Structure 1
Amino acid sequence: MMDQRYSIQEFIQATEQQDKGQGLFELETPRFLEVNLEGKVWAKTGSMISYRGQVKFTREGILEHGIGKMFKKALTGEGTTLMKASGSGKLYLADQGKKISILNLQGESLFVNGNDLLAFEETIDWDIKLMKRIAGIISGGLFNVKLKGIGMVAITSHYEPLTLLVEPGNPVYTDPNATVAWSGNLSPEFVTDISLKTFFGRGSGESIQMKFEGHGFVVVQPFEEVYYSQQS
């Protein structure tokens, strides 16, 4: 009798795309974002894996978001650019196999490490925020994007993210290279501790920590991102 295990049909049934009816953004798998596109969304350039339907991709224009954002992007030297997907169809996005989390903003604001922002609705307002105190200390510098409004946002993390609650009088310290996102009401400080240089992180800024105080949350990942300077 022929063994039916591991047949092509079994593989197809186990991995076939499924419509879950979850709206604009849905997790097809923990590492595939399905966008049920009817209009426009912003996505990280290079994150498109597949699509069907009438979808057009446009690279972010130099002046599309105003001279201020263009100037700040030049200052940060960041390499992450956005593409606009418009039309009608199904779009599948992914970023180096990282785990994807969907957040539905209801007027809240959120800071996301620029490297960990996968996609967001056009209804979301965003702006690049400079980390002046740390630029040049960590190779390539760090930047983050502030997102605010009503709509869906997809962020990524290496492996499962961990959310730490920040409470008054009980600050949270994180490795900048492992910090994914934090609530929009928090303004982290950068502190150094030479005594931790051998133990805290492995990058050039290993003695530098982000200090979060107040009331909110911060999301970290069990992985240290490596940032490369565009000048290198």
Structure 2
Amino acid sequence: MSKYAIEQFVEQTKQQDRGQGLFEIETQRILEINLENQIWAKMGSMISYRGNIKFEREGILEHGLGKLFKKALTGEGAALMKATGKGKLYVADQGKKISILNLNNESISVNGNDLLAFEPSISWDIKLMRKVAGLMAGGLFNVRLEGTGMVAFTSHYEPLTLLVEPDNPVYTDPNATVAWSGNLQPDFVTYISLKTLFGRASGESVQMKFTGKGFVVVQPFEEVYYSQIQG
């Protein structure tokens, strides 16, 4: 009976090749990367690997002085590691659910703490939203990714995608906003009545407003992901 139970467990949970390509959802919360050359992943996200893979923290000047300055401001939320070699790499982030997008000369913005991995063919830049620096104890930041290739990001529980139409803007809680299409530029609105009701530091008093045509991804969880710059 004991042997059967172990065999059953192994059979139900063992790794499987699904033939999905470079990025493969091994489980809803574990990403398998079929590495052939190089990939960028969130620092500390590796949970296992097989093969000949070398891991390096991104170099201080790897992406130029501009990004170095921005990363110094935003802290460790967007810290990356470079995985190089050939093998199978497994990455995860605090048990969060993983979503994959295959960009085709497109762009997307992802909150810094929610970015899990992306191909080196994707260009990226850190965007600081300093408009809310005085409202939320630091400016929110996101990573804009564009080009052609795969991007993996995470969310607490199942994400919900809301469509934005020109005559129908979408408002979101900044701490529950995961990603949005690259053609959208969020603005921030505050409500004095909510400040009075919840207190000045409340996230509900600050909302992101998306106008235009595109989509916004939110999660059923309020995550404090903004930077630690004061004022």
TM interval, short-chain normalised = over 0.9
Which residue is 1:62 aligned to?
60
Q: 1:179 aligns with which of 158, 161, 177?
A: 177
The normalised TM-score by structure 1 is: 0.92
For the aligned residue pairs, the C-alpha RMSD in angstroms reads: 2.2
1:214 alignment partner in structure 2: 212
Amino acid in the other structure paired with 1:182: W
CA distance in 2, matches of 1:202, 1:152: 39
CA distance in 1, matches of 2:133, 2:74: 8
Instruction: Pick closer, same or farther for the CA change 1:89–1:185 going to 2, 3 Å.
Output: same
Going from structure 1 to structure 2, the CA distance change for 1:203 and 1:33 (only over 3 Å counts) comes to farther
Indicate conservation of the 8 Å contact 1:139/1:227, yes or no.
no
| Aligned partner of 2:190 among 189, 192, 199 | 192
User: Structure 1 residue 134: deviation in Å?
Assistant: 1.3
Query: Quick one: which amino acid aligns to residue 32 of structure 2?
Result: E
Distance 1:109 1:35 in 2: 21
Aligned partners of 1:215 and 1:9: how far apart in 2?
Answer: 51
Larger proportion of helix: 2
**How far does residue 205 in structure 1 lie from its aligned partner after superposition?**
3.4
Q: Which residue of 2 aligns with 1:75?
A: 73
Across the two proteins, how many residue pairs are aligned to each other? 230
Asked if the contact 2:37/2:84 (under 8 Å) is kept, the reply is: yes
Runs of 4+ with deviation above 4 angstroms: 2-5, 198-203, 228-232
Kept in 1, the 8 Å contact 2:51–2:87? The answer is yes
Look up the match of 2:115: 117
* Aligned-partner residue type, residue 106 of structure 1: N
**Correspondence for 2:154:** 156
* Matching residue's letter, 1:130: L
Q: Which structure 2 segments of 5+ residues have no match? A: none
Local SS of the residue matching 1:137: coil
Question: What SS does structure 1 have at the residue aligned with 2:203?
Answer: coil
Give the percent of matched residue pairs that are identical in Structure 1 and Structure 2. 75
Distance 1:130 1:4, change over 3 A: same
In structure 2, distance between residues paired with 1:189 and 1:9: 54
The answer as to whether partners of 2:34 and 2:87 remain within 8 angstroms in 1 is yes
Pair 1:201–1:184, CA change in 2 (3 A): farther
Question: Structure 1 residues 85 and 224 mapped into 2: Cα distance closer, same or farther (>3 Å)?
Answer: same
Equivalent in the alignment of 2:51:
53
Post-superposition Cα deviations, 1:123-155, rounded to whole Å, max 9, x if no partner, equal: 000000110101243245320000000000000
CA contact (8 A) 2:112 2:225 kept: no
| Alpha-carbon offset, residue 101 of structure 1 | 0.2
Deviation at residue 111 of structure 1 after TM alignment: 0.3
Preserved contact between residue 111 and residue 177 of structure 2 (Cα < 8 Å): yes
Render the CA deviation track for 1:79-117: whole Å, top value 9, x for unaligned: 330000000000000000000000000011000000100
Residue of structure 1 in register with 2:126 after alignment: 128
Q: Which whole-Å CA distance do the structure 1 matches of 2:176 and 2:197 have between them?
A: 14
1:206 partner SS:
helix
Structure 1 residue runs of 5 or longer lacking an equivalent are: none
